[in-house]
Structure 1
Amino acid sequence: MSEDGVFEPTALDRSSKFYVAGHRGLVGSAIWRNLETEGFTNLVGKTSSELDLKDRDAVFAFFAESKPRYVVLAAAKVGGILANNTYPVDFLSDNLRIQVNVLDAAREHGVERLLFLGSSCIYPKFAEQPIREDSLLTGHLEPTNDAYAIAKIAGIMQIQAIRRQYGLPWISAMPTNLYGPGDNFSPTGSHVLPALIRRYDEAAKSGTQVVTNWGTGSPRREFLHVDDMASACLHLLENYDGPSQVNVGTGSDVTIRELASMVASAVGYTGEIAWDTTKPDGTPRKLLDVSKLADAGWSASIGLEEGIRRTVEWFRENSLSVRS
């Protein structure tokens, strides 16, 4: 703390214990890689089989024993439109328990600096574009993933409450749609970009003449490579402090039709691209205002076409072991 009692962010101690919750997931694994690259030497991670974050007693015991100085909470139950729409209770209950357990244990055991990761789905379905941080709680959520969104909003509220009640300099970051190495490529449980990569890669290999995608293809989406997200997380921990969540994105978007064309090109698919308009589109547009992040001194560096190409290469190299 400074002399006037205001926290001033600074470089984190590379030798201090740093717990990455969810270190095997898409975001957590990228954060782990980035921290290693940045010279952190005391990283801690536990798989879900080693530590069930829904088990409150187990979480408190872990924090009592490990006593991390820094934490990134990247652990969550995640999925695409179909999964969120089919299992809303799971997405609400599991994520609430994970968040409350980790945040309560971290507070009790003296975690100095913590970053909570949410999702851009916290914002109203028809929020003014690009979406500013102060759009939170100003309108109705997208109904296909409202249960997951409510859980993430609760996490933001808990961070803000901890700041008010205990004065801890904890922060929240809300990434846009993420993709990259370690993603879930399941045909039914994945998000749009990895689902498209798998679908078009299989079509290219089998010689399929027509690939049909859900919806009209008209919704616009913003995509951020997960390695950029990991870079932004560390930058925020070392350069930002404030009660408001910070949007993390690129500041630009594409239509799903454009995205499908990019993926088809990246995998070498030359057949027809069709659209099943009886299936839901989801939110019509979701572009984040990243002014706060830019003011903190960070911007994305991996372009979408380059990022898709890298992800296709990773998917093909790891096709036998990817989450599916």
Structure 2
Amino acid sequence: MSQNNNTKIYIAGHRGMVGSAIWRALEAKGYSDLIGRTSAELDLRNQHAVDDFFSTEKPEVVIDAAARVGGIMANNTFPYQFLMENMQIQNNLIDASFNTGVQKFIFLGSSCIYPKLAPQPLREDYLLTGPLEPTNEWYAVAKITGVKACEAIRMQYGKDYISLMPTNLYGPFDNFDLNTSHVLPAMIRKFHLAKESGNLPVELWGSGTPMREFLFVEDLADAVVFALENEFHDNLYNVGTGTDLTIKALAELVQKIVGHTGVIIWDSSKPDGTPRKLMDVSKMEKAGWTAKIGLEEGIRMTYGWFLEHQGSFKELKI
């Protein structure tokens, strides 16, 4: 379907880091009929509530940026919630979209859908070719079912339902809670707190040797707008930068940007997670999209946002 500035677009999860970035990107492009609901206004786990919302609002495009997310600790602590709540959210959104004639659905997942020991870089056709990383398999299994649901609708009914799998994301409105956050925002907060406390040592999980790729959330939002405005000929596309670095190198980069001058202590008794997770982004490049914001520039912008908003975070002692 062709989009115009009056296309009615529902962004599920519009208050989160990803959804809010997509909202800002669409507004910047002149889209004027955007719909969002907070979790208090619409519980996406409730099928009847979602069905009622769709039959009332009748969105033409749906972007699913809603999910229960967290790092290794959160995934290990709440496996049932990570599996069930994510499946409830996406199943309700996909099925309601299908039943009300939504023509374009963009499902956002994660690079963790790929097997733990898949060849690097990760290609889309490696999906379901091996075991998942145990520390986040509950979330990954849920996201795989979403990818497959969109693929099934595309195959069976010819609808333009596509899945975008971003690599590790970071940016404004990220989660900086040290108990539930991902590695990069956790590092920003840890180094900042240590700097403010007289450059105390910073202890980080693992060995520092795993390789990771990071994408600034505004780049992902740009990719979503690109997917909205263009017809894709397949159902699954990786979204990333195509470059990675060690967690140790990331820590040193964050330390430099924050201005912390203390020592870093690596706790190798803690899990590392997957040894490497680099995305093959050649399919998106062939479609006409590439990332634009470099890692150092993105971290500087994220730290700037953190400094502006740190008063709203829970008080922490290190």
Shift of 1:167: 1.6
What is the CA distance between 1:322 and its match in structure 2? 4.7
Find the aligned partners of 1:84 and 1:94 in 2 and give their Cα distance: 12
Mapped to 2, the partners of 1:240 and 1:251 lie a distance apart of 23
Query: How many residue pairs are counted as aligned between the two chains?
Result: 315
Give the corresponding residue for 1:185. Answer: 176
Deviation string, structure 1 residues 155-205 (Cα, Å, up to 9, x no partner): 000001111222211110000000000100011100000000000011111
Q: 1:238 aligns with which of 229, 244, 247?
A: 229
* 1:120 counterpart = 2:115: no
User: Residues 254 and 323 from structure 1, CA distance in 2 versus in 1: closer, same or farther, beyond 3 angstroms?
Assistant: farther
Q: Give % identity.
A: 57
Partner of 2:49: 58
The aligned residue for residue 3 of structure 1 is: none
**Does residue 1:111 correspond to 2:102, yes or no?**
yes
Query: Residue 105 of structure 2 aligns to a residue in which SS?
Result: strand
d(CA) in 1 for partners of 2:250 and 2:122?
A: 21
User: Which residue in 1 is equivalent to 2:63?
Assistant: 72
Q: Do 1:84 and 1:145's aligned partners in 2 also have CA atoms closer than 8 Å?
A: yes
- Offset, 1:236: 1.6
Identify which of 2, 16, 29 aligns with 2:7: 16
The one of 33, 42, 57 equivalent to 2:33 is 42
What stretches of structure 1 move > 4 A for 4+ residues in a row? none
CA distance in 2, matches of 1:322, 1:168: 42
Query: 2:245 aligns to what?
Result: 254
Q: Secondary structure at the match of 1:187?
A: coil
Counterparts in 2 of 1:87-236, with a 5 A limit? 87-236=78-227
SS at match of 2:160: coil
CA distance in 1, matches of 2:115, 2:178: 27
Residues 243-252 or 57-66, more deviating: 243-252
Matches of 2:233 and 2:93, distance apart in 1: 20
Residues 234 and 175 of structure 1, relative CA distance in 2, 3 Å threshold: same
Letter in 2 for 1:307: G
AA paired with 1:289?
A: D
Task: After superposition, give the CA deviation of every residue in 1:234-269 in whole Å (9 maximum; x if it has no partner).
Answer: 112222423431000000001000100111111110
- Partner Cα distance (2:280, 2:129) in 1: 16
Distance in 1 separating the partners of 2:98 and 2:138: 26
The 1:271/1:49 distance shift into structure 2, 3 A limit, reads: same
* Alignment partners' CA distance in 1, 2:133 and 2:44: 27
Specify the SS of the correspondent of 1:116: strand
Matching of residues 242-321 of structure 1 within 5 Å: 242-321=233-312
Gaps of 5+ in 1: 1-8
Q: Distance in 1 between matches of 2:83 and 2:107?
A: 16
Task: List gaps (5 residues or longer) in structure 2.
Answer: none
Q: Secondary structure at the match of 1:212?
A: strand
How far apart in 1 are the matches of 2:200 and 2:109?
39
Aligned CA distance change for structure 1 residues 267 and 214 (closer, same or farther; 3 Å) = same
How far off its partner does 1:323 sit? 8.0
Write the distance in 2 (CA, Å) between the matches of 1:313 and 1:169: 38
Q: Give 1:70 shift.
A: 0.7
Partners in 2 of 1:197 and 1:227 — Cα distance? Answer: 18
Q: Is the 8 A contact 1:293 1:299 kept in 2?
A: yes
SS state of the match for residue 43, structure 2? Answer: coil
Distance in 2, matches of 1:99 and 1:174, equals 15
Give the direction of change, closer, same or farther, for the CA distance of 1:323–1:176 in structure 2 (3 Å limit). Answer: farther
8 Å contact kept, 2:106–2:163:
yes
Counterpart residue identity of residue 232, structure 2: D
Q: Which amino acid aligns with 1:51?
A: L
Q: TM-score, normalised by structure 2?
A: 0.97
**1:53·1:98 contact (CA, 8 Å) conserved in 2?**
yes
CA offset digits 1:140-165 (Å, max 9, x no partner): 10000001000000000000111122
Query: Does the CA-based 8 Å contact 1:197-1:312 persist in structure 2?
Result: yes
